[in-house]
Amino acid sequence: MQHRYDVVVVGAGGAGLMAALYAAKGNVSVACVSKLYPTRSHTGAAQGGIGASLGNVGEDHWEWHMFDTIKGGDYLTDQDAAEVFSKDIVDAVIELEHMGLPFSREADGTIAQRKFGGHTREFGKAAVERACYAKDRTGHMILQTLYQQNVKNGTTFYNEFHVFDLLIEDGRCKGVVAYELATGEIHTFHAKAVILAAGGYGRVFKITSNAYTLTGDLMSIYYRKGLPLEDMEFYQFHPTGLSKLGILVTEGIRGEGGILRNDSHERFMERYAPTIKDLAPRDIVARSMITEIREGRGVGPDKDAIYIDLTHLPRETVEGKLAEITDLARTYLGLDPLKEMVLVQPTAHYAMGGIPTDIDGQCLTDGAGGKVEGLYAAGEQACVSLHGANRLGTNSLGDLVVFGRRAGISAAKYARDADYGRLGEDPEAETRELIAGLKNSSGKENAAAIRKELQETMMNNVGIFRNGPDMEKQVEILKELKARYQNVGVADVSAKFNGDLIDAVELGFLLDCAEAMTASAVNRTESRGAHEREDYTTRDDKNWLKHTMAYKDMNNDGNVLIGYKPVALKGYTRSFEPKARVY
């Protein structure tokens, strides 16, 4: 079955919905293709806030936000992107308010703001209230608001359609091919422009805050076309996931005054980040927690967790501003945060790397600025390199709306002047071959067993603390897992809602993402941001102040070719020289 739209957006989270909305406002026809119902997208799991220098609680300026973003990214952040972002996010938040997003409020009626990790006043002197929030359900409210606006502006939705292929020919993207879960039918979406916004790949790890659907689908498909993935070695572990489960505990819990404590109830962050303590950036807090655990000061039955203490906070704060987290702790851990400290541990949370783009969202083919005509990306799927080596809390939701909007505007502008590229003779051939290969396989390998081994070994060998020998071992493990994947059999060969088939396809996507990530991590012989190597413990600006570009070796499956892209060290009006990153 074939459909034709000026702009097709893949993914219906915050970035996809923002992109679709602004494309629709550009007077072009827009379809949004999503493997989930839009308001079930993973943006809904983002709790704590969206950072913008509104200054509603205390003085704040976009330059301070820009500096914090660059410093937080350990100076691998592209400074032109950081400047655009820090300016645009102020207007974007006010626009969301005007769309009807129900932000929490200060006493004077302005949008409420609270402190968040790594956000400071006066270029690092003290913590600042910059996170705009809707209790601890900010992402959920963004999804609801943007979905309603898309319905209002005429976006057509194809829900529970799983994209299996990008139609890229002669340097131009002409559409996508998707599998309809309800029928098993294959659909071709012919488009003048395509925007990729399908999220990250956290399910490559055992303990993760990510939903089961975050399997790096479009990153893998892009990579399979011989195109690069940027900075895949930089993966953020959020300090506070519910122990054993990985369910996110918002950074807002520390912004409201929560304190991390070890087995002797010591507030240990005073030793690691004496100025802003528990409100240090996520990579620093996560490493500090793991260090406490490694040195025998962990808590819980296996001594592999840390306490987050809310018992000193007012009831109205815990049950009001942190209502969702309070409910999760009571439901899943049987703990009452009003009376007991909650057990948390770092959880795989966010990919700083992804499909490389320019500041308008157009996808790049190399480190020299080559572009795929008609193809754009935004959100966690993309790497405009706003986040560099480590993302600050709240900047993810900001990234979604700022660069989702820019991608939507750019795609609509392109589509208004472009024609529909001519499709190949059989655009669905590769997708049919993928599905038939799995359904007709006589292989005895089990996708769930391979996925479990993938997640456990990635957690052990390419987690928070890394070293060369363990990662080299993981390279070989991944080659073995990919070989086994060729013999995966699918027991369910039915057409409708075939979860067995989808699990197998998604496993292939995860293996690709893990391959690119591990090779990039082995290659970078330094520690920077979230990439912490025990055998190269310092940051090396002389050799490594550059972005990694990982390409699939099209002649030798399992090998990864590494290239580079320069870091943009100057903004348009402000720039910040790399310096030691201390808090």
Residue 47 marked as a ligand binder: yes
Residue 513 and residue 220 in contact, taking contact as beta carbons nearer than 8 Å: yes
CA distances (Å), origin 494, targets 260, 321, 485, 488, 500:
50, 46, 21, 17, 10
Residue 53 marked as a ligand binder: no
Task: Tell me the two tokens of residue 120.
Answer: 């400071």
Residue 25 marked as a ligand binder: no
Residue 35 marked as a ligand binder: yes
Nearest to 528 by CA among 514, 547, 511, 513: 547
> Alpha-carbon distance 534 to 357, whole Å?
31
Q: Write out the DSSP string of 294-362.
A: HTT--BTTTT-BEEEE-TTS-HHIIIIITHHHHHHIIIII---TTTSPEEEEEEEEEES-BEEB-TT-E
Which residues, listed in sequence order, are joined to residue 170 by a DSSP beta bridge?
Answer: none
* Residue in the block written with tokens 């359904």: 439
Nearest 5°: the CA angle 387, 390, 393 is 80
Residue 43 marked as a ligand binder: yes
Residue 245 marked as a ligand binder: no
Task: Identify the active-site residue in 121, 203, 254, 282.
Answer: 282
Residue 34 marked as a ligand binder: yes
- 172 catalytic, yes or no? no
Residue 12 marked as a ligand binder: yes
Residue 238 marked as a ligand binder: yes
> Alpha-carbon distance 387 to 237, whole Å?
14
Angle, to 10 degrees, between the axis of helix 499-523 and the axis of helix 429-439? 110
Residue 48 marked as a ligand binder: yes
Residue 521 marked as a ligand binder: no
Residue 42 marked as a ligand binder: yes
For residue 465, give the H/E element and its range: strand 465-466
Residue 15 marked as a ligand binder: yes
Residue 313 marked as a ligand binder: no
Nearest 5°: the CA angle 521, 239, 540 is 35
Residue 41 marked as a ligand binder: yes
Residue 11 marked as a ligand binder: yes
CA distances (Å), origin 396, targets 153, 381, 549:
25, 11, 22
Looking at the chain, how many residues does it have? 583
Task: Tell me the two tokens of residue 218.
Answer: 């479009």
Residue 104 marked as a ligand binder: no
Residue 44 marked as a ligand binder: yes
Residue 14 marked as a ligand binder: yes
Q: What is the DSSP letter of 38?
A: G
Q: What is the DSSP letter of 422?
A: P
Residue 558 marked as a ligand binder: no
- Which residues fall in the annotated binding site? 11-16, 34-49, 217, 238, 250, 349, 380, 391, 396-397
Residues annotated as catalytic are 282
- Which residues fall in the annotated binding site for FAD? 11-16, 34-49, 217, 380, 396-397
- Which residues fall in the annotated binding site for substrate? 238, 250, 349, 391
